[in-house]
Amino acid sequence: MSLDGQNPTKAIQDPAMQDPATGSQPAPVVRAEDRAAVVSGATGPQRAQLAPEQPLALRSVREQVEDARHTARKILVLGATSGIAEACIRQWAQRGDALYLVARNPDRLAAVAADARTRGASSVGSAVADLDDTAAHPELLAHAINGLGGLDVAFLAMGVLGEQSQAERSFSAAHQILHTNLTAPVSLLTWLANYTAQRHAGTLAVLSSVAGERGRRSNYVYGSSKAGLTAFVDGLRNRIDRDGVRVMTIKPGPVKTAMTEAMKGSEKFADVEAVASTLVKAIDRGKDIVYVPGIWRIIMAVIRAIPERVFKKLNL
């Protein structure tokens, strides 16, 4: 199964990156503060001042019992410093999963990795990388999977809102939104899909958005990037679900994170910890499509049903 730059077998059989599925010794997991696998233009490992540790969340007895029975999973997080990803990482770490985190900001990435260790992750590896650089994806993903010693879950949480007003005036601004939210994830998913399909196992969980369900004047460039991503993930699921790979489309409504804090009405957005809890459980259960909060399934059904002659007059 060969695609230009997207053949996981070829990439993983590089002598420096042996395939964990073949029985060869995997690359050792290296602490993030000692070695960040720097890809796509970064000049070398960078140390960072760690952010103050966040308090551990109180957990119910039932949750503690479930975690005690939990078998640690090997989880790759792409876009690890996004608000939703950070909240999921905290929950995965707390139950002892093995994590490999990728993001472009070295200081924030180091803080997230340190927090994951504090919370109890069985191992934490990381790489500083610009995920917009599609040419670097095969090497990056091969290193990540070897660092984990395999792969159970890949969580794609990369994305930008962009500025709708700028995108309306400039194609280059629109193109950047489309590249980050659609083209780059398609590159990552093509490689990951081939890797997991060849092994007949794994879960690919992809963060899309309810904004992709109908174009609205307020954010149609962002929405179109998410609509394209949703369609791609739908088709990918149809292709490799029969190979034993779970492909999950995540459609959140507005969530209270750093990316949305400047938006009007952000104080009413969904709590990111509650969203993360829903997502972690849905990934464990192998759901196909998840709206978070769940009410957005109904809201978007109503919005899709509005006749176009009415919809085009609305200021949404």
Residues forming the active site = 222
Backbone angles phi, psi at 173, to 5 degrees: -70, -40
HSE-CB at 109 with a 13 A cutoff on CA atoms is 29
| d(C-alpha 314, C-alpha 97), whole Å | 46
Burial (CB count within 10 angstroms: exposed 0-12, middle 13-18, buried 19+), residue 122: middle
Q: Which amino acid belongs to residue 217? A: R
From residue 91, alpha-carbon distances to 15, 85, 87, 288, 314 in Å are 35, 10, 7, 21, 40
| d(C-alpha 92, C-alpha 277), whole Å | 10
Q: Is 204 helix (H, G, I), strand (E, B) or coil?
A: strand
DSSP string, 46-69: ---PPPPPPPPPP--HHHHHHHHH
Kindly tell me the sign of the dihedral angle through the C-alpha atoms of 229, 76, 143, 116.
Answer: positive
Strand order, beta sheet including 203-207: 123-128, 98-103, 74-78, 153-156, 203-207, 246-252, 289-292
Q: Peptide bond preceding 252: is omega within 30 degrees of 0, i.e. cis?
A: no
CA angle at 7 for the pair 129 and 226, rounded to the nearest 5°: 55
